Amino acid sequence: MPKDTPTTPLLDRVAGPSDLRQLPDSDLAEIARELRAEVISAVSETGGHLGSSLGVVELAVAIHAVFNTPMDKLVWDVGHQCYPHKILTGRRDRIRTLRQKDGLSGFTKRAESEYDPFGAAHSSTSISAALGFTVGRDMGRPTGDAIAVIGDGSISAGMAYEAMNNAGAEGRRMFVILNDNEMSIAPPVGAMSSYLSGLYANEPLAKMKSLAEGFEAALPAPMREGAKRARQLVTGVSESGTLFEELGFEYVGPINGHDMDQLLPVLRAAHTRATGPVLIHVCTVKGKGYTPAEASADCYHGVSKFDVETGAQAKKSASAPSYTSVFGQALTQEAARDPNVVAVTAAMPSGTGVNIMAERFPNRVFDVGIAEQHAVTFAAGMAASGLRPFCAIYSTFLQRGYDQVVHDVALQGLPVRFAIDRAGLVGADGPTHAGAFDIGYLGALPGMTCMAAADEAELTHMVATAAAHDEGPIAFRYPRGAGTGVQLPERGEILEIGKGRVLFEGTDVAILSYGAHLTECLEAAEILENAGLSVTLADARFAKPLDRELVLQLASHHRALITVEEGAMCGFGAIVLQTLAAEGALDRGLAIRTMHLPDRYIDQASPDEMYEAAGLTARDIALTATQAAGSTADVVPFGVVK
Ligand SMILES: Cc1ncc(C[n+]2csc(CCOP(=O)(O)OP(=O)(O)O)c2C)c(N)n1
Ligand SMILES: CC(=O)[C@@H](O)[C@H](O)COP(=O)(O)O
Ligand SMILES: [Mg+2]
């Protein structure tokens, strides 16, 4: 047994939620204690989203004890807090494979378990999905109650309100549990967060509040009194109820989400009496029960492997600064030169690196909360006012703001600068977080300039180029993690729009790279040269406008042309193909291959393993080039490829 494996005699008897339901209530707090120890122990070995999972340990036990999962549909918003739920629902034996190749996903996933009725990883979808299940139940589908568990950060997104607006009007029996830990990844922002804090502040007086008399009656006597008092208090102080009540929900809470003596009776009362939508406001502590997590500024939102005793996390041995930090520094330099440069983040200040600019220019960096759609249009408004906004959003999350990119930015030709982090495959977070599609979805837009950084120096140039580009929207993408270690320029150079660069010239095969896979292309070129093929390597820098002249030149002077990108099909390769086709350059016997992510989702693993599964290693590029060039040379001797 590994040294940190806790003893868990009660939890050992729980193979699934039905076992939990056989236990007396008096055992459930102890189950939660053992479950917390198991989560800490497992995540110390795997890394992952620890703080959020620790915050919902009691909640997970109580929900599974009261509701009839999997018939009742439990939908965890984001899903990053689902580790206790996975342990309780038959996945304990694989919990130490979390976020690894062939292991458990770090999020809820339909394919993994019947207890995960709805997959997630992007936030604020749970209420909509739960309402969908509710309608399914009411229309005779074999499904029970639906329960959405959503955090205070995630409930700031517009989608959650769209869902509550709809659910309140539908008036169907469903449950929304607001898990309020007064934290997002960073401290939460915005008026909604202040509003929830106000409700939370009522806690000593309003232990329980429900405007429905019948609901109060279902509570145990001590709570009933509290509920009545709260009702009088609230109705006395203000004519209106909470925002949730205005939206048509019955509001219950706030209650202490770590106290089984509050959780169990409240959930049971709700379960017994609810006839319409109910919102149960549960207050929790992110990182609860693990001192290093509770004491840290981010409550151990996402951790690498760590020492359970000390909480010390394994340090990544980065030989080079991360792309994110290089972006943050370059942005700060631009902001120092130009007072019109502003930055927007949607709840990811440190993830995107705009926190670096915020240290020097706090009034010019705007964290809008989890609200990508608003972030994009807000940036568009700022651009229309004459400011120079950088809208820094991960590729995968920008998907949520796509109509805003099209309608509010591109169509109006507004110069919003999109800094697109996490381009390509990201590793442990898996396919939900892969930056796979932005080349295609942005490349399709008239007037959009699209760049991809081959290394950190290139990223610095692209930040400078974007800052200087007032002619319309411009985007630049770069991957998660450490850069290549190249020398960074003192100041970013303004690149000529639509011009690529040739790294070296050969005669047989041309490789045209777009983005950070240039490293693999360099390696592939070396393999090919060793095998006797003469290679040209070019970095396109721009997908739009494409360097037409360069592409035509590569097409006409080589037997084979290979494009390489860290993105899905319908991306850079497609743009190259369409350009060549339009020029008639495909009519002359050129062998062309477009290398991109395959047309399937790639499960979590390390980024290298994921790129291997995607067929995008240096070896894959070399093999593809050889075959395209019609060479029979044995181009990949063992030992050459890393
Ligand atoms: C659409 C979208 N934007 C951003 C994120 C990144 N993200 C993941 S969790 C999180 C914070 C969520 O806060 P909350 O819902 O309060 O849960 P907690 O982490 O506090 O448990 C953010 C911003 C995401 N998953 N989805
Ligand atoms: C759950 C979620 O969406 C974030 O916590 C995400 O996992 C962060 O990813 P990075 O570690 O790449 O910032
Ligand atoms: Mg929170």
- What lines the ligand 1 site, CB under 6 Å? 52, 55, 78, 80-81, 121-123, 151-154, 181, 183-185, 286, 301, 347-348, 370, 372, 397, 400
Q: How far apart are CA 444 and CA 442, in angstroms?
A: 5
123 marked ligand binding residue: yes
CATH number 3.40.50.920 is the correct assignment for the domain at 501-628: yes
| 293 alpha carbon – ligand 1 mean position (Å) | 17
**Token reading at 381:** 């408004």
> How far is CA 527 from its chain centroid?
36
122 marked ligand binding residue: yes
Q: How far apart are CA 178 and CA 166, in angstroms?
A: 17
DSSP state of 369: -
pLDDT band at 432 (very low <50, low <70, confident <90, very high): very high
Share of the chain above pLDDT 90, in %: 87
Domain layout of the chain by residue ranges? 11-295, 323-477, 501-628
Higher pLDDT among residues 170 and 201, named by residue? 170
Mean pLDDT over residues 324-343, rounded?
A: 98
Per residue in 269-285, pLDDT tens? 999 999 999 999 999 99
Which sign does the torsion angle of CA 308, 312, 313, 319 carry?
Answer: negative
Residue type, 352: T
Mean pLDDT over residues 442-450, rounded?
A: 98
Residue 507: is its pLDDT beyond 50? yes
Beta strands in 522-590 (DSSP E): 535-539, 542-544, 560-565
| pTM (predicted TM-score) | 0.94
Residue 311: is its pLDDT beyond 70? yes
Per residue in 351-397, pLDDT tens? 999 999 999 999 999 999 999 999 999 999 999 999 999 999 999 99
Q: Is 323-477 the same fold as 11-295?
A: yes
Residue 638: is its pLDDT beyond 60? no
Residue 631: is its pLDDT beyond 90? no
pLDDT value for 211: 36
Ligand nearest to the backbone CA of 302:
2
pLDDT value for 216: 60
Among 133, 128, 125, 93, residue whose Cα is nearest residue 108: 125
Q: How far apart are CA 3 and CA 539, in angstroms?
A: 50
pLDDT value for 486: 97
Mean pLDDT over residues 226-253, rounded?
A: 68
Average pLDDT, rounded, for the chain: 93
Mean pLDDT over residues 435-462, rounded?
A: 98
Residue 60: is its pLDDT beyond 60? yes
Q: Tell which atom from ligand 2 comes closest to the C-alpha of 351.
A: 13
Per residue in 188-225, pLDDT tens? 788 878 887 777 665 433 444 443 445 566 666 666 55
Least confident range from 318-322, 438-442, 574-578: namely: 318-322
Q: How far apart are CA 369 and CA 387, in angstroms?
A: 21
pLDDT value for 219: 66
290 marked ligand binding residue: yes
Helices (H) and strands (E) in the chain, counts: 26, 17
pLDDT value for 235: 41
11-295 folds as Rossmann fold (3.40.50)
pLDDT value for 221: 64
Residue 635: is its pLDDT beyond 70? no
Mean pLDDT over residues 23-49, rounded?
A: 98
* Three-state DSSP state, 351: helix
pLDDT value for 317: 75
Among 468, 561, 461, residue whose Cα is nearest residue 521: 561
Assigned CATH for 323-477: 3.40.50.970
Q: Whose CA is nearest to atom 4 of ligand 1?
A: 370
**How high is the ipTM of this complex?**
0.99
DSSP state of 306: B
Ligand nearest to the backbone CA of 350:
2
Residue 642: is its pLDDT beyond 50? no
Least confident range from 199-203, 570-574, 618-622: namely: 199-203
pLDDT value for 287: 98
- What lines the ligand 2 site, CB under 6 Å? 49, 78, 80, 185, 302, 351, 422, 426, 429, 480
